[in-house]
Structure 1
Amino acid sequence: MLVPVCSVLSLLGWLCLYVLLCSACRGRSAEWNVRLVTLSHGVFIVLFTAYVVFIDGPWPLTHAGTVNTPLQELALCVCLGYFLFDLCWCLVHRTEGPVMMAHHCGSILGIGLALWLGSSGCETCAVVFGSELTNPLLQARWFLRQVGRYESLLGDVVDVLFISLFAAVRVGVGTAVFYSQMTSPLPAPAMKVGGVLMYGLAWVFMVDIARFGYKKSRTKYLRWKERPKSS
């Protein structure tokens, strides 16, 4: 597979989608439109990598470091093109902090390395699936805020699903994938170093999310507790 060509086509495809959205939604902000692109990528790549990981195979918990399949490389090229587009957008608009920028750079380097080496696509696709699984919920939270619907039952449901999926998949299942990569003799040392960095970032995000969940649940509890006093 012509990996550089596919990656460039993916980058141009996401850029064209963004330009079309900006043209169609002229009354919306640039961030609104780029988040629509992010949502589109999240839904598409989750479905694609789910097929690659769970149906096409091989299984990442037993075949870490094996030679890439054509479908694995196609999925990674699509994802690489998106992350390059999103990184450039974030640099231009300066909307993200150092942790998120580190996540973007780490994702680009990890995916690029897997494509360059021609191996470890198995566990890399699994990491992409786990990382992007919560992305549509993250975008839903932002859009709910923009339309004034976040402080509602729907907003609470989205938050609970987001926190639960992040903890179960990115930390829980992610730990199993991380262990399989570290204990397998097949992955290149550079891929193992990248695995350590991405796993560490996942825990940084998990700590921040846990703090957010605690603060929100405490606020909700205090509001509920004060209701009888104000009636």
Structure 2
Amino acid sequence: SGFIIHAGIGYTVTMELTTGPILLLTVTAFVCWSALYGLFCWLQPHRSYEWNCRVVVLIHAVTVLSMSSTFGFLYNPWPFTHPGNKSNIYEITTMIVCLGYFLFDFCWCVWFYDDETKIMIVHHLVSIIGIAASLVTGLSGTEIGTCIFLAELTNPMLQFRWFMRSSGIKEGWVYELNDLMFMLMFALCRCVIASFFLYRHIKHPRPKPFFKVGGVALYLVGIVMFGHIVVFGYHKYTKLYRRWKSRDKTIENNKAK
């Protein structure tokens, strides 16, 4: 392995790793995420497997959001204008942590397979291939880190929604605000920003064709997921509107009496 170290904010630490160390670190990350899940299952035997898994999902989301945003703002080039560069140590660290998690969650989704985990299996598989390719080639860590940030930004809201519903909290302004923010942020990240990011990525000559194809694949998975959210939002707010109109009619009838 080769190391070139520069001190100070705004500087990068470049790091070249062969496939062996990358594989070892990735397996270590996978074992750590799996062990964390096992620990929660042991500490909370009264909780379901999905509950404990989602706790791990939430911890991962907060962890990689912190890493990708901090490293992205302080040490990375601007991803919309400088894609396809050699990955630095901060990008590599984020990708290894994230890849270990995706491998864990992919295995969990396959083991507890149902219709709800189907789209997540595809999403995880595309993500695993993209991150692994970036780690092996040592390229495009900036774009991968940006994709990780955009993909995970709405994850905490999704997990909070599930935890509230599982705890019997299906109404109230906190629940409704979380739902609305999740849908709006998902549309902003996966459709608006991701569309512009993908366009700049494909147009730029530096990124390898493999990463451009992978970007399109991940974008399409996000669009499919957004389609499901649109259908959910339509049914949810149509039902709320009908309930509101029905309540108004009831109030008017009571006043007429």
Range class of TM-score, shorter chain: over 0.9
Aligned-pair identity in percent equals 39
- Of 65, 69, 90, the match for 1:46: 65
Q: Which amino acid aligns with 1:216?
A: K
SS in 2 for 1:57: coil
TM-score for both structures, normalised by structure 2: 0.87
Aligned-residue offset at 1:154: 1.4
Q: Which residue of 2 aligns with 1:115?
A: 135
* Corresponding position: 1:169 with 2:189: yes
CA distance in 2, matches of 1:54, 1:208: 32
The 8 Å contact of residues 3 and 73 in structure 1, kept in 2 or not, is answered as no
In the other structure, the counterpart of 1:133 is: 153
Q: Which moved more, 1:33-42 or 1:56-65?
A: 56-65
Gaps of 5+ in 2: 1-16, 252-257
Higher helix residue share = 1
Tell me the distance in 2 between the aligned counterparts of 1:93 and 1:101. Answer: 11
| 2:36 pairs with 1:14 | no
The aligned residue for residue 3 of structure 2 is none
Shift of 1:98: 2.9
Asked if the contact 1:106/1:194 (under 8 Å) is kept, the reply is yes
Task: For residue 108 of structure 1, report the CA deviation from its aligned partner.
Answer: 0.4
Higher relative contact order (CA 8 A, sep 6+): 1
Aligned equivalent of 2:5? none
SS in 2 for 1:140: helix
Matched to 1:27, the amino acid is: H
TM-score, length of structure 1 as denominator length: 0.96
Select which of 200, 218, 223 maps to 1:198.
218
| 1:121-169 deviation per Cα after TM superposition (whole angstroms, max 9, x unaligned) | 1011000000000001111111011011122221111111101111111
Q: Which runs of 5+ in 1 are unaligned?
A: none
8 Å CA contact 1:64, 1:187 repeated in 2 = yes
Let me know the Cα RMSD of the aligned residues. Answer: 1.2
Structure having the higher Rg: 2
**What residue in structure 2 maps to residue 209 of structure 1?**
229
Displacement, 1:52? 1.8
